[in-house]
Amino acid sequence: MDEAWGTVVTTVGCQPIPPNSFYPRSQHPKSHIFNPQYGRVLKEYQLIYISEGRGYFESRSCKRQEIEAGSLILLFPGEWHTYEPSKETGWFEYWVGFTGERIDSLLKNGFFSLESPVYRLGFSSALIGMYEDIISYASQERAGYQQMISSIVLYMLGMVYYKNRNAAFTDSATIDKINEARDIMKQEIEKKTSPENIAQRIGVSYSWFRKMFKQYVDVSPAQYQANLRFLRAKELLDTTGLNMTEIAYRLNFDSASQFTTFFKKKAGIPPMQYRKEGLRFKK
């Protein structure tokens, strides 16, 4: 049942590593013990958060680099790696190990990379709180605890991805321009407003606008507008009695057939079938 959930937590804990002490310490889980000089290869993913101190990390796909307080390391199954706290400072480490097809899918689809396993998040009491929650649930082992703690791990990964993506955009003026453009798109779903026109209205070149929009939002301005039109089309099909020609006209398609082709490509079914299925469920 735990595996059927899609993610399973295999290990969790935390420990202080005082300055000038041997690492790993005797309290380190025996199944995960290793010699930092030679490194190791795990059969699971791990998220390791260093809340205090500093040290280093190295893996097969990532060159040796310093680790400072506030760094989070994502370890991958089958990937050689090694890490160790500095003798001068030691560190405080939190860890959680996990496996599952959900995480495999995130890696396969490019959300996380073997080449970039270190995230400079800074001190995060929220992240520490999540580790402590997992430790608490795992210690009590109440019914359904695996589903609870594995869901916390997914939330942690989401938070890491979110913070890392937004850290790449330090220019608030750029984000303001992109948000201004998105507001125009949302307000003018039923108008024939081109991305070029939007770029002109917010005072930037179209080439800059398209490049920065895609970097920040993950899709081009035209694709973003298409997604908004699709959501609006579903809303009109669900909440109005407008026929296909009327909806096509509202959303600035040249014809009902063009609208039908657009909708089927997005939804996998024609708009009339979508409406009929919605009415059936309402009954």
Share of the chain above pLDDT 70, in %: 96
Asked whether residue 145 carries a pLDDT value surpassing 90, the answer given is: yes
| Burial category of 66 from C-beta neighbours within 10 Å (exposed 0-12, middle 13-18, buried 19 and up) | exposed
The pLDDT tens digits for 231-274 are 999 999 999 999 999 999 999 999 999 999 999 999 999 999 99
Asked whether residue 283 carries a pLDDT value surpassing 60, the answer given is: no
The pLDDT tens digits for 104-135 are 999 999 999 999 999 999 999 999 999 999 99
| Burial category of 214 from C-beta neighbours within 10 Å (exposed 0-12, middle 13-18, buried 19 and up) | middle
pTM equals: 0.77
The pLDDT tens digits for 152-166 are 999 999 999 998 888
Q: What angle do CA 97, 102, 105 make, to 5 degrees?
A: 110
Report the DSSP beta bridge partners of residue 65. Answer: 57
Residue 57 near residue 133 (C-beta atoms within 8 A): no
Report the DSSP beta bridge partners of residue 68. Answer: 54
Q: What is the mean pLDDT of the chain?
A: 92
